[in-house]
Amino acid sequence: MTLIDARSIPADPLSATRLEEAGFDYRLVGMDDPVAAGAFTQAVNRGFLGPAATDDEITWTAETWKARRNVGVYETGAAADALPVATLNSWVAPATVPGGQIPMWAISVVTVAATHRRRGIARNLLEGELRAAVATGVPIAGLTVSEATIYGRYGFGAAIPAARIAIDTGRAGWAGPREEGRLEYVAGEQLASDLGEVHERSRANRSGQIPGWETRWKTMAGLAAEEGKKNAGARGVRYLDADGELRGVMAYSMADQPGTFRSVLKIAHLAAQTDEAMRALWGFAVNHDLVTRVEVDLRPIDDPIVHLVADQRAVELTVHDHGWLRILDVPAALEARRYEGPAEAVVQVEDQYGFAAGTWQVRIGADGVASVLPSDADPDVTLGVADLSAAYAGGVPLAQLAAAGRVRGDARVIGALSRALRSGRAPLLGIWY
Ligand SMILES: CC(C)(COP(=O)(O)OP(=O)(O)OC[C@H]1O[C@@H](n2cnc3c(N)ncnc32)[C@H](O)[C@@H]1OP(=O)(O)O)[C@@H](O)C(=O)NCCC(=O)NCCS
């Protein structure tokens, strides 16, 4: 898949004009300039309520952000080292969809200074990103969110739910098989490299995944400048199959329970290319001596852990929204994925921004391939772009959205479309971005 370099796309002219009228300078920020990179990083840390960044942290972060299109909003006429009052960055990532991949405009580090909130700056930033993606021909946008109420207004839908899982190990027992491969401890650079390798090899297995990046894995392995203290206790274990091939890896830490000689095992990331590796890594965590509880987030909602323990009630599983998607080009998005069954419908999509608005004849064959053409016919199904986007990755049933009154039309057609859109395995986005 050829992916456009988002850095080559200039700042959106309409947002630039609107922000200029409000007294702001909206522009791309180069991370090669240490002063600009420093100010940008400090603004992001401040926006997410973190401490001021050290020089090492700035260098570390800038390495990752050099590959992204960084956008800053400054007071007009601000000094060269002034902090931007708003930040955001984006890049084009290949996102896994059922049966394939699609270029996705990924958006990150959206912050507006607390001194400048509720003046329309975030709106201009987000709308500018959507226009930039459309101008570039990227069919969907995606992000992960700090609050679930911010992005629906721009047409994003919560598409990739995640499970937060906690296991009472004293009660759980182990009912899983014993695997033929072997577990071994791994640390530091090797752990970071294994996390990246297994994630990359496994990300095609689940709709919703995108590639990670080096500093993300190093942070999980306890090597990050900015989070050195937080992840200083990072440990790792990997699983090699019977042929000695790396198939899974887990980064975790232990949180001491004072006065008990017991700990909580907190999994930072569990990546597995095979179910066998996933079972082996779960077994390592759940059967660990001196551990009373295992905690992890960002697992798929169909994680088989409930069937790996003897007592299902030892497992608390909380589902929450995680990956948000926004369809920008309906035919390109719908034709990029495969479907679980045939369906035929005239679908009307409402989009106040117009990008995805229209009526489409959607034909899905028995082979799971869709063709999507503009149509003048009366719609069988009508829905907003946020709801189509929510159902797109295969994790949110269209029928569930219809039951909530968000999708209207012929119940039989909605049922068939709903079944076609579901993915065989629940989608997963194993990282924040
Ligand atoms: C969230 C944030 C980016 C909003 O910036 P902002 O410039 O104040 O937002 P705007 O003035 O452009 O508001 C746009 C819309 O979003 C709404 N909105 C703003 N902040 C919101 C929040 N925290 N929750 C829900 N809605 C919010 C506004 O009410 C407005 O709605 P409307 O235009 O439909 O009436 C900013 O508050 C922030 O930086 N927060 C801390 C960092 C963060 O959470 N970033 C998001 C990362 S995913």
pLDDT > 60? residue 165: yes
CA of 321 to the centre of ligand 1 (A): 18
> Is pLDDT above 90 for 427?
yes
Nearest CA to ligand 1 atom 34: 153
Per-residue pLDDT tens for 311-350? Answer: 999 999 999 999 999 999 999 999 999 999 999 999 999 9
Asked whether residue 157 carries a pLDDT value surpassing 80, the answer given is yes
Residue from 123, 151, 352 whose mutation best tests the ligand 1 pocket (most atoms within 8 A of CB):
123
Distance 328 CA to ligand 1 centre (A): 21
146 is annotated as contributing to ligand binding: yes
Q: Is 20 annotated as a binding residue?
A: no
Catalytic residues: 151, 433
pLDDT at 1 over 90: no
CA 250/CA 430 separation, integer angstroms: 12
Instruction: Assess whether the C-beta atom of 50 lies below 6 angstroms from ligand 1.
Output: no
Give 243-287 as a 3 state SS string: CCCEEEEEEEEEEEECCCCEEEEEEEEEEECCHHHHHHHHHHHHC
The neighbouring-strand residues paired with 407 are 383
Q: Which domains does the chain have, with CATH numbers?
A: 6-155 (3.40.630.30), 162-320 (3.40.630.30), 330-421 (3.30.1050.10)
| Residue 231: predicted pLDDT | 74
For residues 300 and 297, give the distance between their C-alpha atoms in angstroms, rounded to a whole number.
Answer: 9
Q: Which of 112, 125, 126 to mutate to test the pocket of ligand 1 (most atoms within 8 A of CB)?
A: 112
- Residue of the nearest CA to atom 40 in ligand 1? 111
Measured from the Cβ of residue 306, the count of other Cβ atoms closer than 10 Å reads 16
What's the pLDDT score for residue 229? 59
Ligand 1 pocket residue status of 113, Cβ below 6 Å = no
Query: In this structure, which amino acid lies at residue 167?
Result: I
313 within ligand 1 shell (Cβ under 6 A): no
| Whole-angstrom distance, CA of residue 196 vs CA of residue 278 | 16
* Pairwise CA distance, residues 251 & 172, whole Å: 22
Residue 7, token pair as written in the block:
């850095």
What atom of ligand 1 comes closest to residue 126's alpha carbon? 12
- What residues form DSSP beta bridges with 326? 141
The average pLDDT across 52-71 equals 95
Q: Which distant-in-sequence residues (6+ apart) come within 8 Å of 91 by Cβ?
A: 6, 67, 68, 69, 106
Q: pLDDT by residue (tens digit) across 344-367? A: 999 999 999 999 999 999 999 999
Q: What is the pLDDT of residues 18-27, one digit of tens each?
A: 999 999 999 9
Give the nearest ligand 1 atom to 153 CA. Answer: 34
Is 276 marked as a binding-site residue?
no
Q: Is 352 in the pocket of ligand 1 (CB under 6 A)?
A: no
Q: What percent of the chain has pLDDT over 70?
A: 99
369 is in an annotated binding site: no
State the distance from the centre of ligand 1 to the C-alpha of 123, rounded, in angstroms: 8
195-205 burial code (b ≥16 CB/10 A, e <16): bbbbbeebbee
Res 182 pLDDT > 90 = yes
In this structure, the residue with its CA closest to atom 24 of ligand 1 is 150
149 is in an annotated binding site: no
For residue 46 and ligand 1, the question of a CB distance below 6 A is answered with no
CB of 22 sitting under 6 A from ligand 1: no
Tens-place pLDDT, residues 221-267? 999 866 555 677 899 999 999 999 999 999 999 999 999 999 999 99
Measure the CA–CA gap between 393 and 422, rounded to whole angstroms: 8
> For the chain, what is the mean pLDDT?
97
DSSP states of 384-400 as a string? EHHHHHHHHTSSS-HHH
Does ligand 1 come within 6 angstroms of the Cβ of 49? no
pLDDT tens per residue, range 76-92: 999 999 999 999 999 99
Question: CA dist 178 to 235, 252, 276, 283, Å?
Answer: 23, 21, 9, 9
Cβ-Cβ contacts under 8 Å for 371 (sequence gap 6 or more): 335, 362, 363
